[in-house]
C-alpha cells in the first residue's frame, strides 16, 4: 500500500478504502472523497 522512495518520502500508491491505484492520481484528493466509514472507521467515533 505504501511505496517508499528516497530516504523518508512515502506516498500512498493504493487507496486503503477502495483499492484504486493512486500513483497517477492526486491521492489526498481521492482519499478525501471517501467517508471515514470507507476506511472501517465509524463517524464521530461511534462504536458499531
Ligand atoms: Zn478510494
More confident residue, 42 or 37: 37
Question: Ligand 1 centre and the CA of 33: distance in Å?
Answer: 7
Give residue 5's region: left, alpha or beta (phi > 0; psi -120 to 50).
beta
% of the chain exceeding 90 in pLDDT = 12
Residue 34 DSSP symbol? S
Sequence-distant (≥ 6) Cβ neighbours of residue 33 within 8 angstroms: none
Question: Ligand 1 centre and the CA of 6: distance in Å?
Answer: 25
pTM: 0.54
Contact 18, 25 (CB under 8 A): no
Predicted pLDDT of residue 43: 64
Amino acid at each position: 500500500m505504501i511505496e517508499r522512495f528516497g530516504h523518508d518520502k512515502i506516498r500512498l500508491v493504493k487507496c486503503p478504502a477502495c483499492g484504486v491505484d493512486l500513483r497517477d492520481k492526486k491521492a489526498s484528493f481521492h482519499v478525501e472523497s471517501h467517508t471515514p466509514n470507507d476506511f472501517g472507521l465509524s463517524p464521530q467515533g461511534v462504536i458499531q
